[in-house]
A and B are shown apart, each in its own frame.
Chain A
Amino acid sequence: MSDKPAPAAPQQSRASAKKELPEHFRGYKHVWVFVELERGEVHPVSWELLGAGRKLADQLKVDLAAVVLGAPGEATRNAVKESFVYGADLAYLVEDSILGDYRNEPFSKAVTQLVNTHKPEILLLGATTLGRDLAGSVATTLLTGLTADCTELAVDADGSLAATRPTFGGSLLCTIYTLNYRPQMATVRPRQLPTPVRDETRVGRVVEFKADLDEDKIITKLLKFIPDRESSKSNLAFADVVVAGGLGLQSAENYQLVRNLASALGAEFGGSRPLVQKGWISSDRQIGQTGKSIRPKLYIAAGISGAIQHRVGVEGADCIVAINTDKNAPIFDFAHIGIVTDAIRLLPALTEAFRKRLSPENADRLAG
């Protein structure tokens, strides 16, 4: 993990570290994905993780298991079925009325008990408010390694999990191993990975697990759940078209140009981290490693230089268009189409030109 106070040098000295897995960990096998079920709904990051987990399991020639915790009922059973559709071979099902709403105590207890009983070699969770709250507790209880916010997961020649993530505030990438402890744990942020294709014909085996839980012994109680208003939810992570701005826009007033283009396109809008720090946009509009990852068909980045922490959040886009005055800006290293010009001047013209081009009349003419 990059929470290291020491500079790069001592870390590199461990590059030669060898895998010497202690005897008691050698029986740990199979890849697990924690399926995040909250209030009857599965967080889509769970399916994305099953997609990544499938590849790891195939390479290791082991099973992919979904871990489903929830209150007894249809939603929980449905989450199990969906896990198979998205690639799981089996599902560990912990059904208990205590697990209806997420609370750290019962969830971390149940997952820890499950791991100690069935011993997976890899355990993946979503880097959501739930997944991060849970993963840190479980890894500490198990005294194993946990790598947060991975952008790439792979299996190396000796079967170890190679987890790559941005480090040093998103200025470099690093690959982290948990060589000699099990399970190897990692979290991945939503929309970092593609959603696997559904296969409705897939079925799997259900392994029911009775966790040792007692509501009387759980101190934290949920008094209320206040759902977000529909209108306040931003659809940034799932939008087909996203327009974003960076410091190149020079002022909060100029950021309005991004919103204007987004509005003309029916797109979502966002920005790079410095814009949040300057207060030009709210944090739920931040795109990048510490904000949201996006996978749109078209991403237009205006005045964004393209630091690694931003790059890892947008590389899933089909088409990245970069507008920047600096032809050497790193964003041109990963954009598909670039134009070296001032976004402040181009954006209004682009808004106008898109309006004309995409107007229904124009579409009719094209069709006719």
Chain B
Amino acid sequence: MKILVCIKQVPDSAQIRVHPVTNTIMRQGVPTIINPYDLFSLEEALRLRDKFGGEVTTLTMGPPMAAESLRKTLAIGADRAILLTDRFFAGADTLATTYALAQAIQKIQKTWGDLDLVFTGKQTIDGDTAQVGPGVAKRLNLLQLTYVSKIVEADAEKREVVIERRAEGGTQVLKTKMPCLIAMLEGTNEVRRGSISDSLRAARAEIITWSAKDAEIEDLGKCGLKGSPTIVKKVFAPPVRTDRAAFVEPGKNAGESADALIEAIFKRHPALEEDMTKLASGF
């Protein structure tokens, strides 16, 4: 089975700081990680390869330093890693990103043969859009399975895939055909650490690096800032409300503080007391 996994290198969101004066992101020194959602898809891809044979290729578009995240995917167990990097890609929104990725995936298929499955993460932790997976699927005419909680069956011979998908009020069990794109839900598997031999191999492995030209991207006008229909006009910190919280003075002990706080709540919202009395007694 030939499988591709798209990943993204993202700043560790827990460590992002905003400059207090300029309101810009202070990126220096912020450690980067593989987007955590991508790892569940990578793990699922590796399980399918281990079961059916074949190979797992990882792909990312990003700055040259994203090679480090790709190297980690090799250490976890991927067979090949490709970095798509070029100044033409800078400033891409999701539509421009899906164009570049789809073009690169076509080049991958030309080079190493047709893919059976493409995986992406559910969404990234920095963009949180969940749009790149569906966009790549549409551009490559792949059937699309998002929010997948379980791969029930993947039959390379019959080219059939059965999955469970999280819907709003329940779980859909869907059957479709390869090639398709799958975005796994978080927490659906335990991501492996990778073997020692994989780590050793990864340390010396070549990260295949493609420019736009190497990836045979047809139309550079569809890449990066130029190819992005959306325009970020303004980045800002949310306005601070002029009426800051009304502070309740803590009492001599927790009990007094609690009484004072409840007093303040019901003074501000008198109707709440009756509502909450009903709620507390189970009405």
A residues with a Cβ closer than 8 A to B are 1-8, 10-12, 14-15, 17, 36, 38-39, 41, 43, 101-105, 108, 128-130, 132-133, 135-137, 139-141, 143-149, 162, 166-181, 219-228, 240-241, 264-267, 274, 277, 283, 289-290, 297-298, 308, 311-312, 318-319, 321-323, 327, 332-341, 345-346, 348-350, 352-355, 357-360, 362-363, 366
Answer whether A298 and B276 are a contact pair too, CB < 8 Å, given A136-B133, A228-B169.
Answer: yes
Return the 8 tightest CB-CB contacts between A and B, nearest first: A136-B134, A3-B127, A338-B245, A169-B13, A145-B229, A349-B254, A145-B230, A353-B258
A172:B25 contact, CB within 8 angstroms: yes
How far apart are the CA atoms of A327 and B248 in the complex, in Å?
A: 12
Say whether B203 faces chain A, with CB atoms less than 8 Å apart. Answer: no
A338:B16 contact, CB within 8 angstroms: no
B257:A6 contact, CB within 8 angstroms: no
28 chain-A/chain-B pairs, Cβ below 8 angstroms: A2-B129, A3-B94, A7-B25, A7-B27, A17-B233, A43-B168, A102-B167, A129-B165, A129-B166, A133-B146, A139-B95, A140-B139, A144-B95, A145-B230, A148-B130, A169-B11, A169-B16, A174-B232, A174-B233, A220-B143, A240-B275, A333-B244, A334-B245, A339-B261, A349-B253, A350-B261, A357-B262, A358-B276
Answer whether A38 and B238 are a contact pair too, CB < 8 Å, given A1-B230, A14-B225, A168-B126.
Answer: no
Chain B residues within an 8 Å CB radius of A179: 231
Stretch among B42-50, B170-178, B213-221 lining the A interface: B170-178
A128:B168 contact, CB within 8 angstroms: yes
Other than the known A38-B169, A220-B175, A358-B276, what 13 A-B pairs have Cβ atoms closer than 8 Å?
A: A1-B131, A3-B97, A39-B170, A104-B146, A130-B168, A132-B131, A141-B138, A168-B16, A220-B176, A225-B173, A241-B279, A265-B280, A353-B259
Number of interface residues of B (CB under 8 A): 103
Q: Which of B91, B237, B247, B253 contacts A6 (CB 8 A)?
A: B91
B232:A14 contact, CB within 8 angstroms: yes
How far apart are the CA atoms of A172 and B23 in the complex, in Å?
A: 8
How far apart are the CA atoms of A158 and B139 in the complex, in Å?
A: 32
Stretch among B51-59, B74-82, B107-115, B263-271 lining the A interface: B263-271
How far apart are the CA atoms of A229 and B165 in the complex, in Å?
A: 16
Q: What's the minimum C-beta distance from A161 to chain B, rounded to whole angstroms? A: 11
B residues with a Cβ closer than 8 A to A are 11, 13-14, 16-18, 23-25, 27, 61-63, 89-95, 97-98, 123-135, 137-139, 143-147, 162, 164-177, 186-187, 225, 228-238, 240-241, 244-248, 250, 253-255, 257-262, 264-265, 268-269, 272-277, 279-282
B281:A346 contact, CB within 8 angstroms: no
B174:A222 contact, CB within 8 angstroms: yes
Chain A residues within an 8 Å CB radius of B172: 101-102, 222, 224-225
Answer whether A332 and B245 are a contact pair too, CB < 8 Å, given A129-B167, A148-B128.
Answer: yes
Chain B residues within an 8 Å CB radius of A11: 91, 232, 235
Chain A residues within an 8 Å CB radius of B231: 14, 17, 176-179
B167:A172 contact, CB within 8 angstroms: no
How far apart are the CA atoms of A341 and B172 in the complex, in Å?
A: 46
Q: What's the minimum C-beta distance from A244 to chain B, rounded to whole angstroms? A: 16
Q: What's the minimum C-beta distance from B19 to chain A, rounded to whole angstroms? A: 10
